[in-house]
Each structure stands twice: as structure tokens, then as C-alpha cells.
């Protein structure tokens, strides 16, 4: 819900979850997306950068 409120164009297209973990960075993010077309792992990494 929060993503859709902040970025309305992503409403229903992006969902994520975060939680605290005992590391130096203090958190980890589990990001789940639905793609319109098939993509390789390398294509996804390039798009996120």
C-alpha cells in the first residue's frame, strides 16, 4: 500500500517488504516485482542500477 501512495504509477505493480536484521546495515529488503515481459537476471540488475 505504501508504495502506491508514494509512487501512484507503481500501484499494484510493485510490492515489497522490509524487516530489521542484526547486521551492520541493520536491514534487508525483499523486493518482488511483476514484469511485463521476460527478462534475464543481468537485464534486471542493469535496470535497477
Mean pLDDT by 10 residues, the chain (49 residues): 82 74 76 87 91
Predicted pLDDT of residue 41: 93
- Comparing CA positions, the residue from 19, 46, 48 lying closest to residue 33 is 48
Q: What is the pLDDT of residue 11?
A: 84
Single pTM value for the model: 0.43
CA dist 43 and 18 (Å) reads 24
pLDDT score, position 37: 94
Amino acid at each position: 500500500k505504501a508504495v502506491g501512495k508514494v509512487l501512484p504509477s507503481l500501484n499494484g505493480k510493485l510490492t515489497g517488504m522490509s524487516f530489521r536484521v542484526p547486521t551492520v546495515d541493520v536491514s534487508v529488503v525483499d523486493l518482488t516485482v511483476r514484469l511485463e515481459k521476460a527478462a534475464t537476471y543481468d537485464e534486471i540488475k542493469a535496470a535497477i542500477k
